Structure 1
């Protein structure tokens, strides 16, 4: 979800830069801000898949499951009914 948001934001910035003279002037005037914003978008786009996997694995383990790395999914053991 975060990747889609980052891509949407990147496309929005590019379209704004192409079609808006005021936006282009802002980026020319504030190059450091523009470079920082672009670098931040790149970092978020690269880190978000790793963070998503980390939170998926964490949620699986917290709920009592076992993470299967090969199938990339959470597995639960079926509990046996005890007869007394």
Structure 2
């Protein structure tokens, strides 16, 4: 059994402390890879809805796309 010092979750930001389903994008092993098709589609849709076409770029990484999606969702009140 792992001890508590091995856990890096923040109970103030993690809705399910102890869960490993969410990880900061900075810690993603694949964060430097090109964004997925699903990310591209969602980011393009959000960019259009927010009137920020410049938020979409075909050459974003998975991590950068995730950050932009979160920013746009916040701006749209989602």
TM-score by length of 1: 0.23
The structure with the largest alpha-carbon Rg is 1
**Which one has more relative contact order, counting CA pairs under 8 Å at least 6 apart?**
2
Structure whose residues are more often strand by fraction:
1
More helix per residue: 1
With normalisation by structure 2, the TM-score equals 0.24
